[in-house]
Amino acid sequence: MRIFINPGHDVQLDPGACGNGLREADIVLKIGKRVEGYLRAVGYDVKLFQYDGLGEICFDANAWKADLFVSIHCNAATGTAKGTETFSSGGMKSTRLAEKIQAQIINSLPVINRGVKTANFYVLKHTDAPAVLVETAFIDNPDDAKLLIDREDDFARAIARGVTDYFANEKPLPDVVDTPTQSGTVGSHFNASEFVCHCCGQGSVDSRLIELLEELRAKAGKPVHVNCGYRCSKHNKEVGGVPNSQHVLGTAADITIPEIGFKRARELVESIDFDGTGFYPPLENGGAWFIHVDVRDGGIGSHVEWWN
C-alpha cells in the first residue's frame, strides 16, 4: 500500500498559521515525519512531500499512484477556538479514513472533538486516492499549542493508527490460507501464516496488533516468534480458551523472543501500548514460556494484565 503524507505549507515558502511562537509548517512536518516512520514500520510504502504548490502536490501523489492521501495541518481562528477536525472529500472511502483518524486522535489526546466534515479543499478535490485533511489542533490557542509541542508523537501515532484501522477493514487477511508456508506478509517482519488457526488455516489479524508487534521487534532487535494468533471457535474450545477469547477475534497473539529471554521480553512488552498482556514465565525446570498480547479495546480502554 502506498500512503502519501503531505504536511501542510512549506517551511521556506509559507509557514502557514502562526501562534504562541509556533509555525504550522514546522509543527506538521515533525508530525508527518513521525507518521511516515510508523507506517513504514508496519510495511507500507510511504512518500512525504511538503510543498506550497497545491497542484504539484496533487500531481505528485497521482503520478506515484498513492492508495491514500493524508494532508496534515494546524488550525487557527480567534485564539479561543480549540479542538481537532478531519475533512474528507465526501466519498465513502475518504469519509471512512477521516472517521478512523479522527477517532484515534480523540481517543488518544485530550482534545475537543470537532468532528468529521466534508470540504472542497484543493488537495481533496484533485487527488485520485481517497484523501483527508487533518486539522490537528488550533496553533493560536495556548492549550492546543501546548499539546502540539508536548504530544507531537501522540498525534503522529493516532494518525498512523487511523490509517492502519482503515486498511484493517478494507483488506483483512484471506479467510483461508492454502498452506502453512503461505508467503503473504503482514507488516515488515511477519508472515500471514503465523496468525492463522492451527487447525483449519482460517485467519484474521487486527492491524494495530501488527503495528505494536513491529514496535516490539524494533525495540528487541531480535525476531518475535508468534506461537498462536487467530483461533477458530472449534480450536479455541479444544485448547481450553474462553469463548470470548481475543484469539477468536483476531486481536491477540502469544509470542516469545527466545534470543533475549522472558525477563527482558516482559520489560519490553510492558513498555508498549498493548491493551491486554498475560505473562506465562518458564517453569522451575526451565520449560517453555510465552507472553500473551492483545488489542482488545482499540487503545481506549483500561489495560488488563495477568500472570499464569
Round to the nearest angstrom and report the end-to-end CA distance of the chain: 39
195 close to 203: Cβ distance less than 8 angstroms: yes
- C-alpha distances (whole Å) from 214 to each of 223, 230, 269, 296 are 10, 18, 12, 17
Q: Cell for 48?
A: 512525504
Phi-psi region of 16 (alpha: psi -120 to 50; beta: other; left: phi over 0): left
Residues 136, 87 contacting (CB under 8 angstroms): no
For residue 227, what is the enclosing H or E element?
strand 225-228
Q: What are residue 29's DSSP bridge partners?
A: none
Nearest 5°: phi and psi at 90? 105, -15
- Looking at the annotation, which residues are catalytic? 135
146 close to 110: Cβ distance less than 8 angstroms: no
| Nearest residue to 257 (alpha-carbon basis) of 237, 246, 272, 239 | 272
